[in-house]
């Protein structure tokens, strides 16, 4: 039977109609039932099409195996809430956990479950892994624990009895989230967890599947090899030579596998419980790139992978938003999915770091859209306990911040934003090896690597610098390669995007120039994809080395084919690339490949262009992440008129030069009027 709801590049295809993924979060159980209608109506007036809500296990459960869905507490009648959502003409995203966070004590999991030793993740010493969270620290559950997964399935059966009858078209539910921010509950260091027996058994099975024989394992691990049934995972980083690294990198990859496998098991449990025929989604938190979360691996378990956005307006944050958003976009566009922000910050929990204000929220959402997001969920649309700064108060009254969201959503509808595309003919590949190296080499354990990623701290500042006899500090070399090209491309206004090396050729579609750091090793499948692209006419540049090892830094059995690729070597042992040489390569690529450029001055202002299906420029974003106002000057070949869709001001450029006043820490979204505009 044909699906009534499916994924499309611009959102959801609901009975053949594309519905943009513009959502707002409302937590029904935190509000009196009498306030549901006014807060939902106020949320609808923002311009959203969907209501997003968690369904918290720990709030609903009364005793093990039983739950209250409104019989005792009217606020817990999730069925009545969702029927009201449907009555108001809205669709719904439900998020039944088991982990939901939602700033709840124990992250929405019953207290009895988190204190059950059979459900707890274990440290290398065999102790419970405790999350020191406000208002109360607790032992985190294990993604490998069969007891925890059985408890989860028991909860899913209770939740599915309420939710399954409300799946579209009988009800409003069109998306169901599996778990939440599956980053080991923010205890995500490479050697933090999980060492409980079930996890170790899965690790051994993972190695046996990978290597197949004891001989192959000994060739990769040397002195660390043991029978598959006896080998133990590393508990701290102790590599001294290149031959020691595969042991640690395999553990880092296994943790990615563990999370993906657990989500797949949860999805299967949800379907066994009766909640079927609904698309599934998972969200990755800020700093996800430093955790064992792999979008490619999670994408094997759920239908759609989205990102959470909580950033300050700053030059560092802009770079982070550009990197993580464009990486999401290239993968989603290759799959025909909508790039979606599962949580777009509107307000904040008072104890969260960093604490954004409305100015930060505005900058973040506009920056995400500038770099290619096609949908977002306003988190939170309605204020509630443990949250401040939402655009709607608990009585359904609009606060001043609501005006921004109403204006933004109206503007997006006006230009058909979900149908536009940001072209990015240059792709910077982020190999899985780089992220695994960063986790394994993290020098500040037990401090979470994700915190360093959130602050924009790179490998040079956070990783061990040993070269292990491989000719340089590997993680830092890859950072330096990427940063050299980012600087040169940005200075010339060439649109580029980051891509996840684990996503393969899906994320490389449409590229004219591919840049890939290859220090020490490379995944053979990724290398083969690069060679195929090069032989198909795409320019491919790698560096600083031609790898002699694979994606786990185990020696390759044979030399790699390099005949079609271009190599950029480093200038010194310390990670450094000659800026003039990189700039010359970019200038040559602009001429050779006819790369588009979008020149804005000063270079502290950043710009992106979005086109319609016919390739005509329709929307311009300007970003000033700095702490002082600037006048942005945009040069074009031809005349054009720009209309600021939020300020409703017009800017004429009769001579092909437009000037825009940019406040500090601000972003602007401008419609391009005049189809003759051609970016210089």
Dump pLDDT digits (tens) for 262-311: 999 999 999 999 999 999 999 999 999 999 999 999 999 999 999 999 99
Cβ atoms of 608 and 422 closer than 8 Å: yes
- Comparing C-alpha atoms, which of 544, 407, 563, 560 is closest to residue 467? 544
Contact (CB, 8 A) for 631 and 638: no
- Mean pLDDT computed over 214-236: 93
Do 481 and 546 fall within a single domain?
yes
Domain co-membership, 527 together with 441:
yes
Same domain, residue pair 491 and 580: yes
Residues 538 and 623 in one domain: no
Tokens of 458: 């790179």
Claim to verify: residue 524 and residue 496 sit in the same structural domain? yes
User: What is 469-490 written as a DSSP string?
Assistant: TSSS-HHHHHHHHHHHHHHHHH
- Phi-psi label, residue 173: left if phi above 0, alpha if psi -120 to 50, beta otherwise: beta
Torsion of CA 615, 621, 625, 631, to 10 degrees: 110
Other residues' Cβ atoms within 10 Å of the Cβ of residue 82: 24
Rounded Cα distance, 473 and 516, in Å? 17
Q: Does position 405 have pLDDT exceeding 70, yes or no?
A: yes
* 587 shares a domain with 624: no
CA 435 to chain centre: 14
Domain span at 605: 600-673
Look at residue 637 in the predicted model and tell me its pLDDT: 63
Q: Say how far residue 84 (Cα) sits from the centre of its chain.
A: 31
Most confident of 130-139, 273-282, 514-523: 273-282
CA 522 to chain centre: 23
Please report whether residue 484 resides in a domain. Answer: yes
Predicted local confidence at residue 57, as pLDDT = 98
CB neighbourhood size of 365 (10 A):
24
Whether residue 451 is found in the same domain as residue 466: yes
So what's the pLDDT on residue 233?
Answer: 97
pLDDT tens column, 34-44? 999 999 999 99
List the CATH number of the domain containing 630.
Answer: 2.60.40.1180
| Shared domain check, 493 and 632 | no
Split at pLDDT 50, 70, 90, the class of 636 is confident
pLDDT at 354: 57
User: 52: closest CA among 83, 92, 11, 5?
Assistant: 92
Same domain for 588 and 605, yes or no, is no
> Within 13 Å and on the Cβ side, how many CA atoms surround 193?
28
Q: CA torsion sign, 148 to 151 to 156 to 159?
A: negative
Averaged pLDDT, 459-468: 82
C-alpha pair distances (Å), 290 with each of 190, 207, 262, 343, 347: 10, 23, 19, 19, 25
- In the three-class reduction of DSSP (H, G, I as helix; E, B as strand; rest coil), residue 137 is classed as coil
Number of domains in the chain: 2
Count CB neighbours of 70 within 10 A.
17
With respect to residue 554, please indicate whether it lies within any of the assigned structural domains. yes
Q: Please compute, for residue 488, the number of CA atoms within 13 A of its CA located in the half-sphere on the CB side.
A: 23
Single out the residue in 541, 568, 593 at which a domain terminates: 593
In a domain, 110, yes or no: no
CATH number, domain containing residue 445: 3.40.50
The answer to whether residues 454 and 558 belong to one domain is: yes
Banded pLDDT at 519 (limits 50, 70, 90): confident
Structure confidence at residue 462 (pLDDT): 85
137 within some domain:
no
Q: Quickly tell me which residue has 């009766």 as its tokens.
A: 274
The backbone torsions φ and ψ at residue 318, rounded to the nearest 5 degrees and listed phi first, read -60, -45
Buried b (16+ CB within 10 A) or exposed e, 449-484: bbbbbbeebbbbebbbeeebebebbbbbbbbbbbbb
- Strands (E) across 193-300 are located at 279-284
Which ranges of 398-514 does DSSP label H, i.e. alpha helix? 401-414, 432-440, 449-454, 459-462, 474-491
Q: What is the pLDDT of residues 359-376, one digit of tens each?
A: 999 999 999 999 999 999
Is 582 found in the same domain as 477?
yes
Domain boundary among the residues 565, 593, 621 is at 593
Give CA–CA dist 341/641, Å, rounded: 30
- β-pair partners for 427: 497, 514
Q: What's the pTM?
A: 0.96
Inside any domain, residue 570: yes
User: Do 579 and 606 share a domain, yes or no?
Assistant: no
Between the CA of residue 179 and those of 39, 61, 262, 281, 284, what are the distances in Å? Answer: 26, 17, 10, 9, 10
pLDDT tens for each residue of 317-357: 999 999 999 999 999 999 999 999 999 999 998 876 656 78
Any bridge partners for residue 555, and if so which?
Answer: 549
> By CB neighbour count within 10 A (0-12 exposed, 13-18 middle, 19+ buried), where does 648 fall?
exposed
Looking at the DSSP bridge assignments, the partners of residue 642 are: 651, 672
Q: Which of 593, 626, 661 is the last residue of a domain?
A: 593
């Amino acid at each position: 039977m044909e699906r009534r709801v499916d994924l499309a590049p611009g959102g959801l295809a609901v009975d053949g109609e594309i519905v943009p993924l513009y959502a707002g979060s409302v937590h029904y159980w935190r509000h009196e039932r009498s306030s549901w209608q006014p807060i939902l109506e106020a949320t609808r007036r923002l311009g959203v099409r969907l209501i997003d809500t968690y369904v918290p296990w720990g709030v609903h459960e009364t005793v093990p195996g039983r739950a209250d869905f409104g019989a005792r507490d009217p606020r817990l009648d999730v069925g009545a809430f969702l029927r009201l959502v449907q009555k108001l003409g809205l669709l719904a995203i439900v998020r039944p956990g088991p982990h939901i966070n939602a700033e709840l004590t124990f992250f929405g999991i019953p207290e009895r479950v988190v204190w059950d030793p059979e459900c707890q993740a274990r440290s290398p010493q065999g102790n419970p892994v405790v999350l020191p969270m406000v208002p109360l620290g607790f032992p985190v559950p294990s993604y490998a624990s069969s007891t925890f997964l059985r408890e989860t399935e028991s909860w899913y059966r209770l939740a599915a009895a309420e939710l399954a009858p409300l799946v579209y078209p009988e009800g409003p539910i069109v998306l169901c989230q599996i778990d939440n921010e599956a980053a080991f509950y923010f205890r995500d260091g490479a050697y933090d967890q999980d060492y409980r027996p079930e996890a170790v058994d899965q690790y051994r099975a993972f190695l046996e599947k990978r290597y197949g024989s004891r001989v192959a394992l000994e060739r990769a691990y040397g002195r660390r090899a043991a029978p598959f049934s006896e080998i133990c995972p590393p508990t701290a980083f102790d590599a001294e030579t290149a031959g020691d690294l595969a042991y640690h990198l395999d553990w880092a990859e296994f943790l990615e596998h563990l999370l993906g496998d657990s989500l797949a098991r949860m999805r299967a449990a949800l379907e066994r419980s009766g909640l079927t025929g609904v698309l599934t989604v998972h969200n990755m938190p800020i700093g996800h790139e430093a955790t064992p979360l792999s979008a490619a691996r999670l994408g094997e378990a759920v239908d759609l992978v989205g990102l959470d956005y909580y950033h300050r307006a700053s030059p560092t944050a802009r770079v982070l938003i550009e990197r993580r958003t464009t990486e999401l976009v290239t993968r989603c566009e290759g799959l025909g999915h909508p790039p979606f922000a599962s949580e777009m910050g509107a307000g904040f929990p008072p104890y969260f770091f960093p604490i954004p204000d409305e100015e930060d929220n505005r900058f973040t959402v506009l920056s995400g859209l500038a770099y290619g997001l096609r949908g977002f969920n306003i988190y939170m649309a309605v204020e509630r306990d443990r949250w401040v700064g939402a655009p709607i108060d608990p009585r359904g009254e609009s606060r001043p911040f609501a005006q921004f969201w109403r204006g933004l959503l109206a503007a997006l509808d006006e230009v058909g934003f979900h149908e536009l595309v940001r072209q990015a003919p240059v792709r910077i590949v982020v190999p899985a090896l780089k992220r695994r190296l960063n986790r394994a080499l993290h020098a500040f354990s037990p401090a979470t690597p994700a915190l360093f990623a959130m602050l924009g701290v790179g490998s040079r500042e956070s990783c061990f610098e040993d070269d292990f006899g491989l000719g340089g500090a590997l993680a830092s070399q890859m950072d330096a390669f990427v940063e050299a090209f980012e600087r040169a491309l940005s200075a010339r206004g060439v649109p580029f995007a980051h891509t996840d090396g684990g996503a393969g050729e899906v994320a490389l579609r449409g590229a004219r120039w591919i840049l890939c750091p290859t220090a020490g090793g490379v995944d053979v499948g990724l290398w083969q994809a690069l060679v195929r692209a090069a032989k198909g006419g795409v320019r491919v540049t790698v560096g600083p080395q031609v790898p002699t090892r694979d994606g786990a830094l185990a020696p390759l059995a044979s030399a790699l084919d390099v005949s079609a690729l271009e190599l950029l070597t480093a200038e010194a042992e310390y990670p450094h690339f000659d800026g003039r040489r990189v700039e010359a390569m970019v200038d040559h690529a602009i001429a050779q490949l006819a790369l588009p450029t979008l020149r804005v001055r000063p270079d502290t202002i950043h710009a992106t262009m979005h086109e319609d299906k016919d390739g005509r420029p329709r929307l311009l974003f300007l970003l000033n992440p700095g702490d002082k106002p600037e006048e942005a000057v945009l040069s074009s070949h031809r005349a054009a008129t720009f209309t600021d869709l939020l300020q409703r001001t017009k800017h004429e450029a009769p001579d092909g030069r437009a000037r825009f006043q940019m406040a500090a820490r601000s972003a602007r979204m401008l419609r391009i009027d005049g189809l003759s505009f051609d970016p210089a």
